[in-house]
Amino acid sequence: MSAEIETSRLQQLDHAHFMHPFTDHNDLGAKGTRIIERADGVYIEDTAGQKILDGMAGLWCVNVGYGRKSIADAVYEQMQTLPFYNSFFQCTHPPAVELAHELATLAPEGMNHVFFTGSGSESNDTVLRMVRHYWALKGQPEKQVMITRENAYHGSTVAAASLGGMKPMHRQGGLPIPGIEHIAQPYWFGEGGALSADELGLKAAQALEARIQAVGPDKVAAFMAEPVQGAGGVIIPPASYWPEVKRILAQYDILLVVDEVICGFGRTGEWFGCQYYDLTPDLMPIAKGMTSGYLPMGGVIVADKVAEVLAAGGEFFHGYTYSGHPVAAAAALENLRILKEEKIPEYVRDVAAPYLAQAWLTLADHPLVGEARSLGLMGALELVRHRETRERFAESLKVGERCRDYAVEAGLVMRAVGDTMIIAPPLVITTEQIDELVTKARQALDMTWEALSSER
Ligand SMILES: *Cc1c(COP(=O)(O)O)cnc(C)c1O
């Protein structure tokens, strides 16, 4: 009883005071929040005692799973030794130095420099300023334009949301800021029409070349993209896409920014998504899996060729109080040690991802599912009214949201992006737990199907 009273007390206070990110508060007030109290491994538990398989790894970040005591210990120890010091004004501290070195070791060859931030959004704000400053130092200050993609997610600050391609975000607050161009995304299921996947991939890549020419190659600073779009709906580009983008980039003197905030740290089965697609980035924003979410931290891994120009250019007037925060760095170091020692990226590549791919694809036979796809430990289901024509349900039916709520009822966190259901579980998920995830996803589909049928 007292647990129920406590839950409703917290729900009331939550409604009264807590402004949640990306949340419709009218909706939230009506439904009440679910209060997550604890977690272990791949499971979270709410105040009602329901254990739920976390198919979203928190928010794409708890790569090593919940309940890692060694990260807690590393953090506790660092808190006692040095809870904070800045890294401005010719100072540094051991955890940030060790972490920068470790990241340089893990990153692709020729990327040996790291700028620390507090989040993925801050990383992308840093990217924008760094890229423009780089070209100014190179004597080409007119190279200012960043090309990114529609429906990309690069974060929520002014620069990051502008770099992102989400129209509802742009509509609030007068975004995007000037100097950012958005091109088509390589989303075959959603936008491919009559084209084959590879034709759509080529077409989306060639939109980059067309835009470079329209803007003027001497004005374009960089192209920026996620290897696989995460928040946009786990959009896996057709095989033709990245090779064609590489061909185009090789022809023009512009930088490549690969947003590794989701794809980094093992999600694709490689350490970084750029390695999965054999890309050579000049800058890589990172966050999320960098600490497995145990503490907030982000960064930008910078190629030597860019870092050298910046270093020669005098002071870069940019930095955050918490850049390289010692306690967050200690959490990141222990997280990286776990990823390495337990060979988690290799486990994803050799065991978990192939297993998920075959198990997840079995959902493609469900009458609601127009496509099931996965890459690494990311998956998506496209919910449709008609499988052959890919016709969607009316938006007002909120089919995706309802399917998400049924999934939680069935004991699975699965997220809805419109009517695209997505998953990205902790990388330590076992094959038995993958079976459980897929079984629960099917239950959610069945419950959704049932509800829709009774409404016809
Ligand atoms: C989450 C995300 C970000 C923003 O990171 P925050 O830590 O939420 O600021 C940036 N890029 C991608 C690809 C992301 O998924």
Domain ranges across the chain: 34-64+343-452, 70-341
Cα angle 300, 304, 306 (rounded to 5 degrees) comes to 70
Atom of ligand 1 nearest to the CA of 156: 9
Distances in whole angstroms, Cα of residue 55 to Cα of each of 200, 412, 421, 440: 29, 6, 11, 10
Instruction: Please name every residue paired with 181 in a beta bridge, in sequence order, or none if there are none.
Output: 147
| CB-based contacts of 182, cutoff 8 Å, min separation 6 | 147, 148, 149, 150, 152, 165, 176
- Percent of the chain beyond pLDDT 90? 95
Question: What confidence score (pLDDT) does residue 30 get?
Answer: 77
Minimal-distance CA residue to ligand 1 atom 6: 120
Give distance in angstroms: CA of 155 to centre of ligand 1: 5
Which of the 8 DSSP states describes residue 233?
A: T
Note the CATH architecture for domain 70-341.
Answer: 3-Layer(aba) Sandwich (3.40)
Q: What's the pLDDT tens digit per position in 289-306?
A: 999 999 999 999 999 999
* 34-64+343-452 and 70-341, same CATH topology: no
Atom of ligand 1 nearest to the CA of 298: 7
Q: Provide the pLDDT confidence category of residue 1 given band limits of 50, 70 and 90.
A: low
Average pLDDT estimate for 401-430: 98
Question: What confidence score (pLDDT) does residue 455 get?
Answer: 80
Atom of ligand 1 nearest to the CA of 259: 13
Minimal-distance CA residue to ligand 1 atom 10: 154
Within 6 Å (CB) of ligand 1, which residues are found? 60, 119-121, 124, 153-155, 226, 230-231, 259, 261-262, 287-288, 298
Give distance in angstroms: CA of 34 to centre of ligand 1: 23
Tokens of 92: 């540094």
380 C-beta neighbours (distance < 10 Å), count: 24
Atom of ligand 1 nearest to the CA of 121: 9
Average pLDDT estimate for 435-452: 98
Dihedrals φ, ψ of 451, to 5°? -60, -45
Minimal-distance CA residue to ligand 1 atom 5: 120
Dihedrals φ, ψ of 297, to 5°? -165, 145
Give distance in angstroms: CA of 9 to centre of ligand 1: 32
Give distance in angstroms: CA of 259 to centre of ligand 1: 9
Atom of ligand 1 nearest to the CA of 124: 10
Question: What confidence score (pLDDT) does residue 164 get?
Answer: 98
Q: What is the pTM of this model?
A: 0.98
Distances in whole angstroms, Cα of residue 101 to Cα of each of 95, 124, 310, 336: 10, 21, 19, 12
Question: What confidence score (pLDDT) does residue 31 get?
Answer: 77
Average pLDDT estimate for 404-432: 98
My answer on whether omega of the bond before 243 falls inside 30° of 0, hence cis, is no
Ligand 1: which of 116, 119, 185 to mutate, judged by most atoms within 8 Å of the beta carbon?
119
Give distance in angstroms: CA of 261 to centre of ligand 1: 6
Atom of ligand 1 nearest to the CA of 60: 15
Q: What's the pLDDT tens digit per position in 79-117?
A: 999 999 999 989 999 999 999 999 999 999 999 999 999
- Percent of the chain beyond pLDDT 70? 100
Give distance in angstroms: CA of 153 to centre of ligand 1: 7
Give distance in angstroms: CA of 154 to centre of ligand 1: 5
Ligand 1: which of 59, 63, 121, 169 to mutate, judged by most atoms within 8 Å of the beta carbon?
121
CATH code 3.40.50.970 for 34-64+343-452: no
Q: Provide the pLDDT confidence category of residue 58 given band limits of 50, 70 and 90.
A: very high
Give distance in angstroms: CA of 158 to centre of ligand 1: 13
Ligand 1: which of 262, 267, 274, 295 to mutate, judged by most atoms within 8 Å of the beta carbon?
262
Give distance in angstroms: CA of 286 to centre of ligand 1: 8
Q: Provide the pLDDT confidence category of residue 232 given band limits of 50, 70 and 90.
A: very high
Residue 70 to residue 177: CA distance in whole angstroms: 43
Atom of ligand 1 nearest to the CA of 231: 15
Average pLDDT estimate for 305-315: 97
Give distance in angstroms: CA of 272 to centre of ligand 1: 15
Give distance in angstroms: CA of 139 to centre of ligand 1: 31
130 C-beta neighbours (distance < 10 Å), count: 22
Give distance in angstroms: CA of 373 to centre of ligand 1: 22
Nearest to 161 by CA among 182, 185, 145: 182
